[in-house]
Amino acid sequence: MSTIHTNFMETRFASRSENESFARVAVASFVSQLDPTMEELTDIKTVVSEAVTNAIIHGYEERTDGEITIRTEIDGNRISIQIEDQGVGIADVDRARQPLFTSKPELERSGMGFTIMENFMDQVEVLSAEGKGTSVRMVKDLKTHRQAVGN
């Protein structure tokens, strides 16, 4: 059994599109302590961007009075990122996860957000309830050789 303890960070911010870049940088900065490859870091930044953008556009329907919470955990070389909103929720999660499906075609959305998350991460779990919000949990095992400082 490993004696490594989980390290985590959590942040909350308004559902404003300008906060998407903050979310990417915050998670990337936290994960950087593991010295990930550039490809791993790019993948993580991309999935955070996709999940936060989904929360803003679909969860809050671009309302800026919502709140998005990100919790990132490091356990050894495993990264877990959970992004939550308390927005409108997803009526049919299985359908929403299908490539090219979008509930906002008028915004020229590609419908590839969940597909990108699934391709860049090892695990993706989506929990949602209409009127209560959505939680996206993504896990990636880094190939890094260095353990987080302080573990």
Instruction: Pick the catalytic residue from 24, 78, 97, 109.
Output: 109
Report strand pairing: 133-141 vs 67-75. unpaired
Distance CA(59)–CA(132), nearest Å, equals 10
- Residue 145 CB neighbour total at 10 angstroms: 8
Catalytic annotation present for 125: no
Instruction: Pick the catalytic residue from 20, 40, 50, 84.
Output: 50
Catalytic annotation present for 50: yes
Distance CA(101)–CA(151), nearest Å, equals 42
DSSP-derived 3-state class of residue 137: strand
Report strand pairing: 67-75 vs 7-14. antiparallel
Distance CA(112)–CA(67), nearest Å, equals 23
Give the closest residue to 56 by CA, choosing from 87, 25, 26. Answer: 87
The residues carrying an active-site annotation are: 50, 54, 109
